[in-house]
Amino acid sequence: MSHGEARAEEFLAALAFEDAWRSRDHDAVMAFFAENAELVSSAPFPERGPYRGRAQIRPFVTEYLAEKVSMDLTKKQVARNRVAWTVRAVGGDKPANQVEGLVEAEFREGKIKALHLSTGTRAR
């Protein structure tokens, strides 16, 4: 039962994270990151990181949310303590510049321990 409760807490944290991301509230998004979290971004997104810790992660979150990265909530996968969302990002003013990728979050105790942006073919 305790294992099920932990999974439920992480699922609820993921839903709240989705709400924060969609609201584009940088502070609300940052509240989900654990102090020692890691963020890595690779193609088709800007190749950056690894960033470790909230202080290093904040500028990337602030800049990238401003670039209109949006989650496709119909394409979400939940497995154990990981949640993956298909996302779309538009660079510039032209829809032709749209890219699609994957954001995968690893949750621990309601906080994001790791966040990866990638093509969706990241090796395990």
Q: Which of 75, 84, 69 is nearest to 121 (CA)?
A: 84
Q: Identify whether the C-beta of residue 119 lies closer than 8 Å to the C-beta of residue 101.
A: yes
pLDDT at 95: 55
State residue 123's pLDDT score.
Answer: 41
Sheet strands (E) in 5-110: 33-41, 48-52, 69-79, 82-90, 98-108
Confidence of residue 122 (pLDDT cuts 50, 70, 90): very low
Name the strands in the sheet holding 82-90, side by side, starting at the edge strand that comes first in the sequence. Answer: 48-52, 33-41, 111-118, 98-108, 82-90, 69-79
User: Which 8-state DSSP code applies to residue 95?
Assistant: G
Assess whether pLDDT exceeds 80 at residue 124.
no
Q: Would you kindly state where each structural domain of the chain is located, as residue ranges?
A: 2-118
Fold of 2-118: Nuclear Transport Factor 2; Chain: A, (3.10.450)
> Whole-model pTM?
0.83
Location of structure tokens 């020692």: 36
- When the pLDDT of each residue in the chain is averaged and rounded to a whole number, the result is 84
What does the pLDDT look like over 40-87, one tens digit per residue?
999 888 889 999 999 999 999 988 775 668 888 788 888 878 899 998
